[in-house]
Structure 1
């Protein structure tokens, strides 16, 4: 595999100006013809109504069988979602020269960026992103000097609403796994000791129109380095999951649902009971951009994560993964070509 420069030193290509796909962005798809891609049957993953009396069992079953589900009646106001979409749309509609003022460089976490997966591949992805870790005020001042506060308020309110929802979900998931509230407090703390504030992490994604969609990929196959991820999509097409028997399957998500997918840390904590499912984004659109907003829910980097094996179980469980510090896991995953779970398997 060709060696690329460090991710922070790569300059995003202005994809809105491209008339033909450059070689740097052409991905081989040896196992998939255009006809196969177009004819693939879309799959509907489980739909969980957050107001259902059996929500605990529904979430647990979906996590066990799919590692992913759609959540409806989740409580995120439609008006706030629409306003957040507007911010994202305005951000990516800015001229490339303007967005580059907030370029994510080594030593920073926020700002305009390419997919971090790029460092594991010798081809670029048809994608541009923007990280919002905590407050976006410094970057938004550069983008909208006279109107940044309005955009900041919307983005920060969206983060807090998603954080509140994530707190409720993790409590239900841990209850399903038999982990008590006391154990949950011991295992996970969502407050960053350095700042005293909850860890809030958004990734804003844009997949610009492409003149030759069959040649590119939006995001390469990966698993999420999180407890779970909550995804809002502005359009339905593109997201695919990997099925061991049937290969890549395109999803048919509901417009009123958040997609919740299990991340690596919950696979470790559940001792393999839940799976962090590989997924990718394919490009289908030639005329309009596709956007998504991903909220990554993961513990602060100082914590230690290990499998939870019920001590009083009638059938004693043996850990199948090594325990790991959260910060160390990011390093381990990077060194193992984005496959950290395999490196921890006992």
Structure 2
């Protein structure tokens, strides 16, 4: 099978793209992280911190959840869910274990550094490899078991971390299945397409622990540069500290305010393709603040990389070409913002 490390990275990837700053040892934003020096076309629009956020919060226990999700996917490409079944205590435990990890000295965390051939481990968020400027962020990617890395970080106390992350992955798989069933019903897909999207063998299911440390000058830095996610969709847990923003047509950048016990769900490129552009992929970014560390946990889900992706046969006029998932991921790694336009039919 084609691995994540070979399909989801830039060909020019080096260790400079992977190793985060030692945030505790600096008191100003270095040139390598000064985003104010760039002319980013999607970054010229002011953030709207709306009292009434346009991003819907949907109760999965509601009898109208299906129609609400269909409307949210079609109108926004992003929504929040509550009453989702993931134990609140587990979410808090994942956040606590994440904080324990990021509190380690940088030289300790770098013992499990990701490399160009290793998808899991410590380092910057994978999307950072697409940009010349660095982001005010550090992360830890988990793809499958984290035992090997955890044993290096905590030789005698690794089990709690691993058990917590394993339990969270299982809950994410259950929630993913629940959301997919609803989304697929809204698209009225065939049984074969149901099986393709719901396939669990060899499917992507990785998650990334993110830390956005306090920044001495937040107006000069970005925690996460604007981008869309590549797979079907992403489930994001925020720890009560705002920072996630989504680009809303006609409004600009809008803050996705944390909701107690909620997960953010955003449409990715593959779901955009499968829905024949009916569901827009959510362009999002993360900003940083001067006083608080922000933790977020992102779970990414997609079909096996060796399978084909194309608009559902339910659409008479497909907008996109049919191609293998791994081919699209390679295209995205090389062209980022232009990737979707390059697969237009």
TM-score by length of 1: 0.90
Deviation at 1:214, TM superposition (A): 0.8
The 3 A distance-change label for structure 1 pair 172 and 8 is: farther
| Conserved? CA contact 1:230–1:296, under 8 Å | yes
Deviation at 1:40, TM superposition (A): 6.6
Deviation at 1:101, TM superposition (A): 0.4
Q: Pick from 18, 27, 33: which aligns with 1:19?
A: 27
Aligned with 1:333: secondary structure?
Answer: helix
| Conserved? CA contact 2:48–2:255, under 8 Å | no
Does 2:297 correspond to 1:293? yes
Q: Pick from 225, 249, 257: which aligns with 2:254?
A: 249
Q: Pick from 282, 291, 299: which aligns with 2:287?
A: 282
| Conserved? CA contact 1:111–1:139, under 8 Å | yes
Q: Pick from 225, 232, 240: which aligns with 1:235?
A: 240
Query: Counterparts in 2 of 1:144-293, with a 5 A limit?
Result: 144-192=154-202, 199-283=204-288, 285-293=289-297
Instruction: Report which structure shows greater RCO (CA 8 Å, sep ≥6).
Output: 2
The 3 A distance-change label for structure 1 pair 53 and 32 is: closer
Does 2:77 correspond to 1:67? yes
| Conserved? CA contact 1:8–1:106, under 8 Å | no
Deviations 1:303-331 (A, max 9, x none): 11110132xxxxx6200011121111111
Which position in structure 2 is the counterpart of 1:141?
A: 151
Deviations 1:257-296 (A, max 9, x none): 100000111000000110111000011x222210100010
| Number of residue equivalences | 333
Aligned with 1:139: secondary structure?
Answer: helix
Deviates more, 1:316-325 or 1:159-168: 316-325
Q: How many Å separate the matches in 2 of 1:277 and 1:319?
A: 21
Q: CA RMSD in A?
A: 2.4
TM-score by length of 2: 0.90
| Conserved? CA contact 2:235–2:264, under 8 Å | yes
Which position in structure 1 is the counterpart of 2:7?
A: none
The 3 A distance-change label for structure 1 pair 199 and 309 is: closer
